[in-house]
Chains A and B, each alone.
Chain A
């Protein structure tokens, strides 16, 4: 004799967007801690940071910056394409975004590789013997911050992968676009953090 009520699965696009923004706040604070450390040590080791920054390859850095900016554009375009119900275009744009993410990582891999070959990595004897403490700190932070950022790129790509699968199967569509929009937001965040990392490590002298 049980009385039955009917309920629809709760779907709140606005709510999930607020949730994503809040999560983005936490990510900014996570990197915020690192930016504080960076500024403290930059302040106390100005010359050493200057010297160490010369070692980084600006060309690769610039290329990677452009890659990320373009990928931010493609993912934003994919959202608009989904709104216009152009499924194929959406998928293609997401594919391009993923590809750009991958290229970024490959570049990063070679960049780090060259550093390692020159004996520049945390805990290396070469650094202890030849570099000043300030330079060691610079490279320590360089590896931590770009490494953590690369990790975020990977996470972002996984999330975009889910969005891709969702769009393909039709679960993510013009009316239920939250997953895609949130992956876009996340990807912009990853991009934004790089926009700060790039000048801090490569450009300021």
Chain B
């Protein structure tokens, strides 16, 4: 606790030598940029575990019958895969990494509002991750309920559920603290003159996301506490034997988890809204429409959770209400797609790696979104619910959407974060291999689902064999592409050519500071004048 300090302005956050040395200089640092990298490396590790589990499932499904694992192992693998990917990767992903790194810089601040709380959130995140790992390594078998922890199975099964459920609760707490921190940061620390309508779009989406994190997560928090208590004490609320109602669990779970998918996708949309104008060298088309649709998504997203439960038992009125609302929420997403395309129209497009990722994002996101409408319509959902179609849908959205946006973002901001440029040829090769693999992996699942192949089974009928082989091959190609991308980035972070402060001619504030940024970001807090704006090309 020093009241004031002297921090040199010509030392980058990477080289800065503070009170602590070595690893401690990172895990005790309250610098938002270092915390962002802490998140990035922890997530990268967990992500690779998740990917390996995904590959294992695909290998199991390469042929009917038991290939490498039986039913129980498969159940455990898809559960842990889902828990890791959802609660540890895509929900916190973009806000914790890019939000942390760039939000303060993009709004012209030296740090977030509560730097210590920010570091604390990372520790909470790690604690949650460790709890989940404990549930896998110890006790009587890994969790096998699916990442949704549906009652009554989650309190009846003999496997080690409690640490996993508690881990998800703790991860949610971390997410709440991050959201809270960002809201206050945006309200209090914007540079003088940066009015709400001059704030860049990525901070805007972080803002919308932060509100969802704050308002939706507590509901799943209490729900997870209740299933745990049900398991330990038998309080009755979800146990039909004691008068409780398991469907109520589903409601409470999805009241959070549907808005949570917007926690995942909004910042992804924000990142895309930064990449597209920079590589089109053109003002973003319809800035206000993008902001309004962001807030609309955040708002309407609260009222559609029932579309996950059309087949669980609901009144007709509830069904079509949720269905109509689901169709409504698709509109703001479509508006954004039009905005991105119109931004490119007559722009001077430069075909760089981030742009490829962003363009393919739009493509897969549209397929994911349109298939969501198939699921949101009552008649068709009854038919494809709980089939491979659903798996294809959410992978196109969460992996195609959030994943591609993440890679667009990392290739866009990499020179800023590390002060070096990556090898663009390898980056592009990695992208195309990944993209092809992705399509081969998940597109067949649409077909399989329509043909009636259920999800969450380790086995299937012979008639589904061909498409499953294609899908498994796709998983290998995609992982190969992923390896190229990651190796290229790792090598370049160490030894790539030095990048300037503004390699892409971006107009937002992060491009006005040196790469990598100094500890305090700005020598002098920037001031936005009348004519200034984030996208004035």
Give the interface of A toward B (CB within 8 A).
2-10, 12, 14-16, 18-19, 22-23, 25-27, 29-34, 36-37, 40-41, 45, 121-123, 132-134, 136-137, 140-141, 143-144, 148
Contact = CB atoms under 8 A, between A and B. Distances in A.
Interface in B209-229: 214-215, 217-219, 221-223, 225-226, 229
B110 A23 contact: no
7 smallest A-B Cβ distances: which pairs?
A: A133-B243, A140-B235, A2-B8, A122-B233, A29-B218, A123-B234, A33-B222
Interface stretch (B176-184, B317-325, B335-343): B176-184
Interface in B88-147: 110-111, 113-115, 117
B236 A140 contact: yes
A32 B221 CA distance: 11
A8 B8 contact: no
Given A15-B184, A22-B184, A123-B234, A4 B8 contact: yes
A37 B225 CA distance: 13
A189 to B, nearest CB: 13
A105 B248 CA distance: 31
Give the dominant DSSP class at A's interface. helix
A68 to B, nearest CB: 22
B520 A7 contact: yes
A7 B110 contact: yes
A141 B4 CA distance: 50
Contacts of A123: 233-235
Contacts of A148: 225
Contacts of A5: 6-9, 520, 523
A79 B15 CA distance: 44
A155 B100 CA distance: 28
Interface string B184-220: 1001100000000000000000000000001101110
B242 A140 contact: yes
B315 interface: no
Nearest to A34: B222
A19 B114 contact: yes
Contacts of A9: 1-5
B114 A16 contact: yes
A141 B180 contact: no
A23 B252 contact: no
B536 interface: no
B187 A2 contact: no
A10 B11 contact: no
A25 B181 CA distance: 14
A11 B369 CA distance: 44
B40 interface: no
B168 to A, nearest CB: 15
A36 B305 CA distance: 16
A31 to B, nearest CB: 8
A37 B113 contact: no
B225 to A, nearest CB: 8
Range of interface residues on B (Cβ < 8 Å): 35 or more
B114 A7 contact: no
Nearest to B173: A26
A139 to B, nearest CB: 8
A30 B221 contact: yes
A16 B188 CA distance: 10
25 contacts: A4-B6, A4-B8, A4-B9, A5-B9, A10-B110, A10-B111, A10-B115, A18-B187, A19-B180, A22-B214, A26-B214, A29-B219, A30-B218, A30-B219, A32-B218, A122-B229, A122-B233, A122-B234, A122-B235, A123-B234, A133-B236, A140-B235, A140-B237, A141-B235, A144-B229
Interface of B: 1-11, 110-111, 113-115, 117, 176, 180-181, 183-184, 187-188, 214-215, 217-219, 221-223, 225-226, 229, 233-237, 242-245, 248, 252, 520, 523
B236 A32 contact: no
A25 to B, nearest CB: 6
Contacts of A37: 226, 237, 248, 252
B243 A137 contact: yes
Given A33-B252, A133-B236, 16 more contacts: A2-B11, A5-B6, A6-B6, A9-B4, A9-B5, A10-B111, A14-B188, A19-B117, A19-B184, A25-B215, A30-B218, A30-B219, A41-B237, A123-B234, A136-B243, A140-B235
Given A22-B180, A143-B235, A133 B218 contact: no
A143 B117 CA distance: 32
A136 B187 contact: no
Contact of B223 (A12, A33, A40, A134): A33
B11 A15 contact: no
A141 B237 contact: yes
Contacts of B11: 2
B354 to A, nearest CB: 32
B176 A26 contact: yes
Contacts of B10: 2-3
B4 A8 contact: yes
Contact of B235 (A25, A40, A144): A144
A144 B226 contact: yes
B391 to A, nearest CB: 29
A34 B248 CA distance: 11
Nearest to A147: B229
A31 B225 CA distance: 12
B188 A133 contact: no
A8 B114 CA distance: 14
A190 B237 CA distance: 23
A123 B235 CA distance: 7
A60 to B, nearest CB: 22
Contacts of A26: 176, 180, 214-215, 217-218
B165 to A, nearest CB: 15
Given A22-B180, A26-B176, A8 B248 contact: no
Contacts of A33: 218-219, 222-223, 252
A133 B238 CA distance: 12
B520 A136 contact: no
A137 B218 contact: no
B171 to A, nearest CB: 15
A139 B252 CA distance: 21
A148 B221 CA distance: 13
B78 to A, nearest CB: 27
Nearest to B3: A9
A45 B243 CA distance: 9
Contacts of B243: 41, 45, 132-134, 136-137
A25 B236 CA distance: 27
Contacts of B223: 33
Contacts of B180: 19, 22-23, 26
A41 to B, nearest CB: 8
